[in-house]
Structures are given as C-alpha cells and as structure tokens.
Structure 1
Amino acid sequence: MITSRMAGAGVAIVASVVIAACGSSNNKSSSTSTASTNNVSATINGAGSTFAAPIYQQWGSTLKGQGLTVNYAAVGSGTGVADLQTATANFAGDDGALKSSEKSKMKGPVLQFPVAFGSITLSYNLSGIKSGLKLDGPTIADIFLGTVGKGKIVKWPVGTGGKGNSGVAAIVKQTPGAIGYVEQAYAIENNFTYAAVKNKAGTYIQPTIAATSAAATGVAVPADLGISTINSPNASAYPIASQTFLDVYKDPCQSGGASTTVAKGVKGFLTYAFGAGQSTLGQGGSQIPYAPLPGSLAAKDNTQLATMTCNGAAITLSK
C-alpha cells in the first residue's frame, strides 16, 4: 500500500518495474499571480515535506518582494514535525495528518491545514503502448510483487535501485518494459506516459490535476481538517491521491516563542497560501504542477486560520 507519508528510496524490477517515492520536483518559473500577504514584513522558518518543497519555495520567492521572507528546509515530514515540537521552526510541512502521539509532544495546541494535493502515477515505457493502459489495484500489486511481467524471478525486494524521482525517471526512460511509480508533478514536468487506474467507483481515471483535486470532494473532513484522499469515493477522482499539510501552533507566540512580528508573518503566509497562492497550482505553463484545494476546503482553512492568536489576542494584518 502506498501511504500518505512516502518512503524516500526507490527500487525496481529490471526490465519490468521501477519504483520511486514522492520527492521534490523541479520548481516552475515564477508565478504570475499577485502576492497578497497584507503587507507583512517578517522572516519565518519552516521545515518538513520534500513533496511540498517546490510549493513553499516558489511561494517564498514570490512573497519576498512583498517584504515576507520564507525560509523552508526540505528535511522530510518527520523532521519538520519534530522541529515544530521543539519550536525551532515556525511551521512544518507534513504529508500526513498529525497523529495523537505527535500532537502530545507539541508545546501547545496545533492547527493543521491541507495545502495542496498530488498523485502517484504509474509511469511506463512499454513498446507499442503509448497510451490507454488501464490498471486496477490487484494488478498493480501483482506487478510490484513480481508475480506478473518479466521480473517474476527476481527475489524480494523486487527491483533495481533508483534514487528518488530523478533516479526512477532515468531507469524508466532507459529500460524497455519498465513501469514504475513516480510523483505526479515530476511525471508532468517530464512528459511521462502513465496508466489510468481504477478508482473506488469502478472508473479508470488518469492522474490529471483535475482528477487529483476531485479526490478531496466527497471525503469526510474531520474537525481538525486531517483529511485523507487515498481511494476517494468520488467517481471523478484518481484513487492514488494524497494531500500535504502545513502545521502551525494555534498561538505561535505563547506556544512557539514567536514574536508578534513573526506571528503576523506566519498568518500572512497562510493567508496567501489559502488565497492567491492556490491560483499558482495547476498544469498551466507558469503554474506549479500540484492540484489546488477545492473552494470549500480552502474556506475551511481560512475559517480555522481566523482562530490563530498571539498571546491570546487576535492577529490582525494591516490592509
């Protein structure tokens, strides 16, 4: 099973299967969207998800001209959460909803916000098959277990090493008969050919940006917004979709030791993230190739954001 927090290394079946986990894709060119952080001037520090790194790094580049400096270290979700727990980071990028055990180690109440979505594609290099390949769950499992394809005789773990998405891309492109999983943003940027996968409703869906966003429609949204989009019930959704979160202290001053200026910077960054920043996500020429939030979920993010305080007082951003 592919979980929301992906492993960092890849393996592959020679001439049959290539496996790679989610990693950061290349940054797209600067977005043409208008930055809007309500004129906040501050420096904030984040750490965590490598999957979401291109988003935060591009947003940071855009917002720097507005006076807000966003430093982001792509060190992995677990390290990012640990840095928030010790208050060495102002926010954490996290590819899975916070667990109770993680929340219990925080210095105070934490807010988690869904930020964007991505899918895992089944990209392939199969002679004579340039499009139209359809796979269901059992078939995918059989491929990666080595029970179908030319890799049946290879011992477990099945495969040839490919470090991250760049490594697996090279193997898929150079190995006839290869099929492997690679993160959506990277597959789009590299023009991979990938399979349609059967979803929960029985429909075969391509991993498009629209189908990935659709995975968030129809799923239960808990009070803490810790949603899961894998195997969404939405008939239009790609089934191997996952979300990435941004975690912050509800009161970054009281719990995280932040100054009022930094707290305003965090809120300004999140204001942009759930507003103008969403328009930078998509499959257009200047967009970052991730799926944006449905409007209803962005609204929930903003409602929750309004509860953030600094030493118990509301954080007001200048207009």
Structure 2
Amino acid sequence: MKVRKFITIAAVSLALTVAGSSAFAGKVKLVGSGASFPYPIYSTWFSQFSKANSGIQVNYQSKGSGAGIRDFLNGVVDFAASDAAMKEEEMAKVKDGVQLLPMTAGEVVLAYNLKGVKDLKLSRKAYTGIFLGKVKTWNDPLIADANPGMKLPATPITVVARADSSGTTYVLTKHLSAISPEFAEKVGVAKQPSWPTDINMIKSPKNAGVNASIKRATGAIGYTEYAYARMAKLNMVSLENKEGSYVAPGLTGGQAALANVEIPENMIAWVSDPAGKDSYPIATYTWMIFHKKYADAGKARVLRKMVNYCLDNGQAIADQMGYIPLPANVIAQVKVAAENIK
C-alpha cells in the first residue's frame, strides 16, 4: 500500500493563521459553516484560494453538518457543508433553489485506545455489536475470533460518539443500518441518533473532540474521519467488508469503495456497503451546499471561482491530507453543476 505524506495539525493551523490575519480586509468575504469531517482540507483550500485571489476572503466555521444546514436555511451563511447531504424537505424550504456539489471524499474509521494492541480486526458482527451495546469487553469472542493469537484484555469497551448533529454519525449509521437489520430497527440512520442506553458511552463534539476522548480513555473506541485519526496518530481498525475481506482505511480501499458509484443529477450518491474485496466499507462523498440564485451576482461568480479552484488545484493535495481525490468524471460533472450557481 502506498505510503502517504500527511500535513500535520501544526501545518493546517499555520495555514489558518495566515488566512485569519487578513480577515475582513478583502473586497469580497464568503462565509460558510458546517461539516467538521472535511475541515482540514477545506480550511487549507480556502486559505490557498484567498492567497491566489487578492481581495477574496473565505471564512468557514467547523460546526457539524446539522449546524451548517441550519445556518444555510436561516440565511446567515453564503454556503454550507454537510456529510449528510441535504434532505428534500430541507431543500424545499429554500426559495432560490439549492445546488449540492460533492467536493471531496473520505472514510469514517473506528479508532481505538488499547495498550499493546495493534492491527486489530473487527468483523461486521463485532462492530455492529459494539454500537448495539451487545459487545461490551475487548476479549469478547466476536473480537477474539477475528484476531487469533492476540492477547485481548477483559477491559470494558467505552464507545465515543459525537455529541453534536453530525454528518460523520449519519454516514456511520447509514452503513450500520445497511449491514444490520437489528441496528436499522433499533437505532436507524440519523445525524444525532438515540443510542442504546446500555452502551458505556462518551459523547464529544466534532471529530477533533472524539479523537481527544479516545486518547484519554483506555479501552475506548470511536468513529472519526480518517485524516483526523491519522493526524492524531490513533490506532485504527481493519474492518470486514461485504466480501469478507478485512481492509484497513487508506487511499486504496477508499478509491475501491467509490470506483463504481454513479453520480445522479442531484449530485447525491451514497455507497453504504460497497462491493469488492479491496473496498473499505465506510466511505463517502461530502458536499458543499449553495443557493442556485444569489441576490449578489458578483458573489455568485466568486463562489463558482472558489469551487473551480478546489476542483482544479485542491484535488492535488487530497491524498496527502487523508482524503480521496475526486475521479476525473466526477470533477467534470461537478463543474457542469456549478454553473447553476448564479
């Protein structure tokens, strides 16, 4: 598997500092909010875009997908971002129309904190069992069976989940509902689900908060975006996919998962349980959300310019930052759809 070079948290922070130093100084200021899942790459894209285009400033706040959609519906941002896309009933509330654009893709991973345990594998029954509250200790037979010869402690499992309305949670629960009828019935697909009450659970805001809680709690396992887990140097689980293969998160498995996904006219495509022996099982596109018509035509032109910059220049750094570059055919589709922003 290809070794990937990752931009560190410090490098991303530096980029944000540079971007923030000229805040409110530009002739055009774009304001966005939403998903924390793509925040590391979006913040870098927006910083680089502002540097390349004097007089344009992009201010994006990582609040979670649900908060971003609320801001968009309330008219307090120029654009939003969501890993959960947007529901038809939500779009119907926007009188000027809505254009969703998949801008990057990534993987939801299960990261864990268990001293002396590396290269852990979890079967589909094991990880759905954890999120149903049925697998409660690390030496449970469902975990041990997939890890022969590994010394697994009797440590209780602490599940770390998102406290906020989260697109990452939506993607995870969509996958778990696709592979487990019991999970679909008891929990279902949601940005902020009601988890089984007998799970030993910690809730933390945003992906960065989940990572911090995993690091603090021995015996913890939580779901987060791949780039965040890599930057935090967390151990990640290899998950059993639809074909029965155990696949570690990374570019190869992510690209395999998305290889056969067709993007429909509304630009919303899901791959809740990808086929293929090399496919990582929890991969997703993530979307930017725009109005189709803006009161300020000049701002709409700048928004289109920003989108094209992210497509033409931004995809080149997706791999090194822990995201999946968009396939060429998807980039072409997104460029055509972006012309609806007027």
Q: TM-score normalised by the shorter chain: which range applies?
A: 0.7 to 0.9
Q: Where do 5+ consecutive residues of structure 2 fail to align?
A: 1-7, 16-25, 138-154, 160-195
**Contact 2:243/2:277 (CA < 8 Å) preserved in 1?**
yes
Alpha-carbon offset, residue 153 of structure 1: 12
Q: Deviations along 1:213-234, whole A, 9 cap, x unmatched?
A: 3322212422111011332224
Distance (Å, rounded) in 1 between the aligned partners of 2:253 and 2:209: 26
Alignment: residue pair count = 267
**Contact 2:157/2:219 (CA < 8 Å) preserved in 1?**
no
Q: Deviations along 1:31-72, whole A, 9 cap, x unmatched?
A: 8xxxxxxxx973222122122222222222112222221111
Distance (Å, rounded) in 1 between the aligned partners of 2:68 and 2:274: 27
SS in 2 for 1:51: coil
Distance (Å, rounded) in 2 between the aligned partners of 1:170 and 1:153: 14
TM-score (norm 2): 0.69
What is the match of residue 229 of structure 1?
Answer: 271
What is the match of residue 302 of structure 2?
Answer: 265
Picking from 95, 99, 110, the partner of 1:107 is 95
SS in 1 for 2:102: strand
RMSD (Å), alpha carbons: 2.9
What is the match of residue 316 of structure 1?
Answer: none
| Structure 1 residue 180 corresponds to structure 2 residue 228 | no
Q: Deviations along 1:257-285, whole A, 9 cap, x unmatched?
A: 2x2221111011001122111112123xx
Picking from 190, 204, 207, the partner of 1:163 is 204
Misfit runs of 4+, over 6 Å: 152-155
**Contact 2:33/2:62 (CA < 8 Å) preserved in 1?**
yes
Aligned amino acid, residue 63 of structure 1: F
Distance (Å, rounded) in 1 between the aligned partners of 2:73 and 2:309: 24
What is the match of residue 151 of structure 1?
Answer: 156
SS in 2 for 1:161: strand
**Contact 1:42/1:261 (CA < 8 Å) preserved in 2?**
no
Picking from 106, 113, 117, the partner of 2:105 is 117
**Contact 1:146/1:153 (CA < 8 Å) preserved in 2?**
no
Q: Which moved more, 1:136-145 or 1:267-276?
A: 136-145
Picking from 3, 27, 31, the partner of 1:45 is 31
Alpha-carbon offset, residue 157 of structure 1: 4.0
Change (3 A) 1:300 1:184: same
Give aligned-pair identity as a percent.
Answer: 29
What is the match of residue 74 of structure 1?
Answer: 62
Distance (Å, rounded) in 1 between the aligned partners of 2:99 and 2:10: 27
Q: Deviations along 1:169-218, whole A, 9 cap, x unmatched?
A: 45544555443333211111122221211112322111113322332221
- Structure (1/2) with the larger helix percentage: 2
Change (3 A) 1:241 1:249: same
Distance (Å, rounded) in 2 between the aligned partners of 1:305 and 1:208: 29
What is the match of residue 292 of structure 1?
Answer: 325
Q: Where do 5+ consecutive residues of structure 1 fail to align?
A: 1-24, 32-39, 310-319
**Contact 1:211/1:237 (CA < 8 Å) preserved in 2?**
yes
Alpha-carbon offset, residue 162 of structure 1: 5.1
**Contact 1:219/1:232 (CA < 8 Å) preserved in 2?**
no
Distance (Å, rounded) in 2 between the aligned partners of 1:195 and 1:151: 17
TM-score (norm 1): 0.74
Aligned amino acid, residue 255 of structure 2: S
Aligned amino acid, residue 341 of structure 2: M
Distance (Å, rounded) in 2 between the aligned partners of 1:109 and 1:167: 34
What is the match of residue 35 of structure 1?
Answer: none
Aligned amino acid, residue 138 of structure 1: K
